[in-house]
A and B are shown apart, each in its own frame.
Chain A
Amino acid sequence: MKRIERTNDFVVRFANVNGSGSASANNLFAKVVYRLGVPVSPKNVFPSNIQGLPTWYEVRISDKGYLGRRGGADFIIAVNGQTLRDDYDMVQPGGYFLYDSTRDLPPGFDRDDITVIDIPLTQLCNDEFSDNRMRQLMKNIIYIGAIAYLLDIGLEPVSDSITKQFAKKPKLAEPNIRALEIGYQYAEKNHSDACGLSIEPSTAVGDRILIDGNSGAALGALFAGATVVGWYPITPSTSVVEAFERFASRYRIDPETGKKNYAAIQAEDELAAIGIGIGAGWNGARAFTATSGPGISLMSEFLGLAYFTEIPVVLINVQRSGPSTGMPTRTQQSDLLACAYASHGDTRNVLLFPSDPLECFEMTADAFDLADRLQTPVIVMSDLDLGMNDHLCAPFSWDDQRRYDRGKVLSGEELDKIEKKWGRYLDIDKDGICYRTLPGAHPEKGAYTTRGTSHNEYAAYTEGSAAYERSMNRLMIKWETARRLVPMPEIDIRDKNKKLGALYFGSTAASAVEALDRLEESGIPISSMRVRAFPFQPEIFDFIAGHELVFVIEQNRDSQMEILLAGECQVAPGKMVRVTNFNGLAITARMITNQVHTALLAKEKPFISQISAVQKETS
């Protein structure tokens, strides 16, 4: 058997039972690797359940900094009896399988191409700890101790992290460190030189931080001055608001009175959640809500109201697998069409596509300026993988000189200076954006009634066709203004001959970059464009037009980005090639390269069936 022997480049997968306290132990492992300076990308694959169902934690370690999901696992820590067989079968040939040998492996576990590492986790734990809760939790720390030895990490980096984690409660650190030592020492004694995988300290991480996208979005909202949040609990967006409340309870308390400079309202449903956001935005506060697919469906009527009445509101959509309830704890980028045109009638919404937690932070902050400037809903399109998993990204920073752009809001004094009659929907500047007033601004001027029914330039109800058409056309002028305000795409020219291009967005970026590197190494250079917003800029049209073939890489079944591009950009048929994954797990570089190769082969040999072009690796 040829063992996998690799340093700082492999995948460790933990197979646990949900609710057993494994998440924090596994997270500790990822954090230790990060603190050793080695780029790491942990992904939690969890069920829609609180206790008892299988859950996995997949940690990719990559000195080169490839942080998308790789697929497969070189080392599996199997502590869930329910999935033991699957986990065993999943280990890559030459890989390692660590299990709790308090119970023997069942018959039939007889692979000869992997190294099996037996450690009696339960036994070791029960010998040391008597408390039931402790016995459950410390079992997790014992296997962390074992892999600290097996992967050459050493005790110290892990115990340092534990000490740091329990800095405020050193009493709690003690049993953790004891459990760590037990696992470490057992592995040292019984499995010396059993493992060819190794982690060595590195400088590859640099000054990057390890954080989840939802915390980034919450900080973005905090720094951008959001004061009102209406929300309804839904995975995977809940932690956006929880993080916002956590930060706000620290940084948004009036120092003199102890009162809150914010209001976070858990609403009765998603309709009320966005209704609260719209009411607050209309009345001059910066407001947002966070939700996921089912919430988007419920909010659609209100999104149309905000679009048509021109009210700023920010929505953070942490996408999950649909349709309907779908796979609530699995990732996807499948709300593009639902969000771009959310609501009945001719409605269009501004979308932003963050690709890492830093962009979750920056784009959420920018979304408030954009919403105020454009007086319209702005939707930040995150997803479960980006939102709930930790990702490595550049550190956050804020320009203290930055001022909020509150857009065209007239104060009482400004109303007094206006000579002509003010109209809420008069396009004075010819950019499609009109001047609004806030309640209470002036005793006699500037009051109007906001209505979802058609209205003329002075906000009066009208069923006149001409006035209605004028207002709908003016909203398209505003859409053109939005096109120039939203973040530009990022272009990377690899193919100077302009034959092949690839287009991707959001959390797909990590795997897309890795796939494009691999393709380039194998002699297929593909230029790429990372789309960062909708409406699409002319640069996007030009990129597509300028290449013979453009791969559109995304994480949904129907290639929604391709549909959106085709509808908005007048693309020649056959030009765009769909590269997709929609199995609920983050797309891998391998999936992308496989589909690109297949498509290119099919291009040259058209007899290759189309079906193989969309076949996916599903591991």
Chain B
Amino acid sequence: MSYVRPTFRHPDSQKNKLGYSRKAYEGAISTLCAGCGHDSIVSSIITAFFEMSIEPHKVVKLSGIGCSSKTPAYFLGRSHGFNSVHGRMPSVATGANMANKDLVYLGVSGDGDTASIGMGQFAHVVRRNLNMIYVVMNNGCYGLTKGQDSATADKGSKSRKGAPVSFESIDLCELAILMGADFVGRGFSGDKKQLLPMLKAAISHKGMAFVDVISPCVTFNNAPTSTKSYSWVRDHMEATSTFDFIPMQQEILTEYDHGSSIPVPLHDGSIITLHKREDKEVITNKKDAIASLEEAKVKDHILTGILYLKPDSEDFHDINQTTDTPLSQLTEKELCPGNEVLQAFNESLR
């Protein structure tokens, strides 16, 4: 881990459309172990928000408990954050989002926080299609309590302690697809080239955008026998249809070959172009998305990329038919029916 970060920035350092440099998107110094995959994800999150020119104070960061859930302190220092209780980030995010629909909600969780203690809340926030980005930093173990296996650890794989995992692992992406998420992606903390556009696409997506990021735990789960180790993941990664992300602001030029690429417009006008592989079905089909995941598993591969996408989904506010003004900004005028109504109510009981 690094203890200090130079505050000096080159005067000509790149600024985004808001005039902010990347520094405006950074947070406190990480206290995670040196080499932790989570720090790489943090870096991609910072870059994504910076490059997309999203005002930092319009972002809300939420997390549960665990190593992953500490990371919101390490990015977007100008955003409000909420480090809640173990496994309950989704409900807090739901309440926060209901209160103010105008902000961007980024939930950060871990495999323990999501696949075990928070499984119920995870399933239901996905089912509600809450408009948020839900990132799981998935290392297959409980880091903060020193390396116990988590529910995403692969059966038979060995952590540093050496005992093979006895139970089936839970595939959060498959689960998210089943529960109704309309944006499901899987990345690897060591592959920023893929992770960055995926996060950007997730931010642009309206509704639940679930991103599972394999993120090796260098201290407790990086033995070559672990399926969540750097070496194993690098050897077994298989990308699904590769893609590019073209933000809304950018003029869309047809750079892709029509025969093999499919443009998918997102709610905010951004475009994801999927470069279709010949042996792969397009991922806008739920059945095929799950089949691809299962087929990769048979081959001992980890399928990465955007795994499933339905761009025109109704989010929870659409379903609820929430009014356009954020609920937190409504006043007595809109909220209180007044004494006349109350007196009529009294009368109706008589």
- Residues of A participating in the B interface, judged by any CB pair closer than 8 Å: 35, 209-211, 219, 222-225, 227-228, 230, 247, 251-252, 254, 257-263, 265, 267-269, 271-285, 287, 301-302, 305, 395-400, 402-404, 437-444, 447-453, 461
Contacts and interface: CB of A to CB of B under 8 A. Distances in A.
Which 3 pairs across A and B sit closest by C-beta, in order of nearness? Answer: A279-B95, A275-B91, A284-B328
B85 A305 contact: yes
A287 B330 CA distance: 13
Nearest to A253: B323
A225 to B, nearest CB: 4
Given A268-B120, A272-B120, A305-B85, 5 more contacts: A228-B95, A268-B124, A278-B95, A449-B80, A452-B84
A440 B96 CA distance: 12
A268 B80 contact: no
A398 B341 CA distance: 10
Interface residues of B, number: 61
Interface of B: 55-58, 60-62, 72-73, 77-85, 88, 90-100, 102-103, 120-121, 123-124, 128, 320-324, 327-332, 334-339, 341-343, 345-346, 349-350
B82 A263 contact: no
Contacts, number: 221
B60 A439 contact: yes
Contacts of B339: 397-400
B323 A271 contact: no
A402 B337 CA distance: 12
B78 A447 contact: yes
A131 B120 CA distance: 46
Interface centre among B72, B331, B335, B338 (most CB of A within 10 A): B335
Q: Which of A285, A438, A461 has the most chain B CB atoms inside 10 A of its CB?
A: A285
B95 A269 contact: no
Nearest to A227: B327
Contacts of A282: 82, 92, 95-96, 99
B333 to A, nearest CB: 10
Nearest to A438: B328
B328 A230 contact: no
B342 A228 contact: no
A265 B97 CA distance: 12
Contacts of A227: 98-99, 327-328, 330, 335
Contacts of A452: 83-85
A356 B155 CA distance: 58
Contacts of A302: 85, 88
A211 B349 contact: yes
A301 B85 CA distance: 8
Contacts of A444: 57, 78
B130 to A, nearest CB: 10
- Which of B78, B91, B330, B338 has most A Cβ within 10 Å? B91
Contact of A260 (B94, B99, B323, B338): B323
B84 A283 contact: no
Given A272-B124, A395-B346, A439-B60, A279 B336 contact: no
Contacts of B84: 275, 278, 305, 450, 452
Contact of A259 (B323, B329, B343): B323
A15 to B, nearest CB: 27
Nearest to A228: B98
A227 B341 CA distance: 18
Given A259-B321, A259-B324, A275-B84, A223 B91 contact: no
Nearest to B330: A261
A134 to B, nearest CB: 28
A213 B62 CA distance: 36
A254 B345 CA distance: 20
A276 B95 contact: yes
